[in-house]
Structure 1
Amino acid sequence: MDKNKYKVLQPVELQKIPTLEPIEDAEKKLKKVRKKIADLQNTMYAEGKYSALICLQGMDTSGKDSLIREVFKQFNVRGVEVYSFKVPTEKELKHDFLWRHYIALPAKGKVGVFNRTHYENVLVTRVHPEYVFSENIPSVNSLEDLDDDFYYRRMERINQFEKHVADNGTIILKFFLHLSKTEQKNRLLRRLDIPEKNWKFSAGDLKERKLWDKYQECYEDVINRTSTEYAPWFIVPADDKPTARFIVANTIFEEFKKYKFKEPVLEPELMEKLDEFKTQLHNE
């Protein structure tokens, strides 16, 4: 698989990018590569020099939750932290829009997964600008203040935030799970048809579905304005879940390999005493 095939290297038009691209034996390939990622993460953890932030965005039903479960299932639990960002709490709204994301960043050696991310602040709020009023920003007094320039400034702040984080050793990889409107319809119907999946359905899903075109427009703009060398976007065809999972896993693996993580070496004086330490333990 071409490791740059899904990476956004130039401006894109989402409607021209396929949402379905099945890969043969994707599930088997995923099993192999996720073990390799876990091994690399163990070395990254031991080295303590880098951390990684995996950002997942996509329309409702695009498969973010199941992707997290399948891609990271072989990680040592100490090595991965998952955050699902919902509606901001009262406390979070008393800070700037990036605060709650900043404090959730992974420590060195760990992988942080953002299930929905800081980009909600230029996606959902752009589709529903009235949500911004709850942030109580002094310069925002009416909907007229929430023009394109307002969101462009936010995107620039996000770029600066990611640059700062990347400069301090965080590997940032951002994935947009590119789902078709037809497949979303099918997945919503499955939630209604299968009793065990009813709990996943929300009437709000149908309201948001009516705004599909607006969301696609916003996603395209965001991806084009915030895909950088230090925090690239990858557009993943998501109509087939096994394929999407393998693409994400393989991309993470290929990107992690670039950093050549190394396990730390013991101090020379300790190395010289290894046999002595073994003897002490055997003689207990």
Structure 2
Amino acid sequence: MKGNSEIQLESESKGIEQEFYRFSQAEQLYGNMSLFTDTVLFEYSYPEKRLYLSANAKGYINLQAFQHFLSKHTDNAPKDGEMRSFEFSLGKIGEPFHWCSCKLTSIWEEKKTAPYKLVGKLQDISGLKAREEQLLLKSIKDGLTGVYNKSAFEYRVDELLSDETESWLCMIDIDNFKEINDCYGHPTGDRILMKVGGMLCDLFPEPDLVGRVGGDEFVVFTSGSNVYKRAEKLLKRAKKAVPDGEGRLSVSIGIVSSAGKKEINYQKLFSQADRAMYYAKQAGKNRIASYHDNFWQVT
């Protein structure tokens, strides 16, 4: 956060004034210290409808949005002596948002039904939130390919299946992957896994889901009706994805439909898609097998 000299800010739309604390001479040292911290002190006066902040607040938060938030807090203000803590984000549209930790309390006058003012502090926790997001991504994404890991993929699919709309689960297995690793080394195998993951994300972009459920096994969940055309594109792209000297790449694909049935869950679909992929392998690999209404078809 940047420090700023004392200044009065005018609201752009409502003419509500907001101004920084004006420190007395005895408080000047404390005021200067605030310029070098990530903590903003604030006071909101209900009678004046004015927000006062320490000098380091400028450029840190959307002051008008924060003042609006505090003005609406009067009906649920803390009781006398009560301290509240919560987190929220503030920012202007088109600009980065700041995550803040807020602690505040109310100042009450005798025999009043509403507080006289709110006082508290804001602390920038954007860095903490960014680290939390990174940890969350690591917990749900495959470290090598960046697609969903097995447990996160299953959880998300079961959530989407509850909508009871027709969708498809695809099981994709890289053909002869063990031989690729044995002949060309694991670094080459890792590059192929990343390429396949990238191709799947390109052919099945969000809101479709792409996951890795085994060493060389990927899964896709989509509600797009052109799933077979995209699977055929994957077969063609896989052939061209590996340069000379790194073997021949192909994939076998099993596809099943949920048919919007209420009783269908991820495990049932996965079992059927796995069997369909097995049929594709048995039929010669580098092809698509599907299962629908108890009927198997290999193309």
TM superposition score normalised by structure 2:
0.21
Structure ID, larger Rg: 2
Which structure's residues are more often strand, by fraction?
Answer: 2
Which structure's residues are more often helix, by fraction?
Answer: 1
TM superposition score normalised by structure 1:
0.22
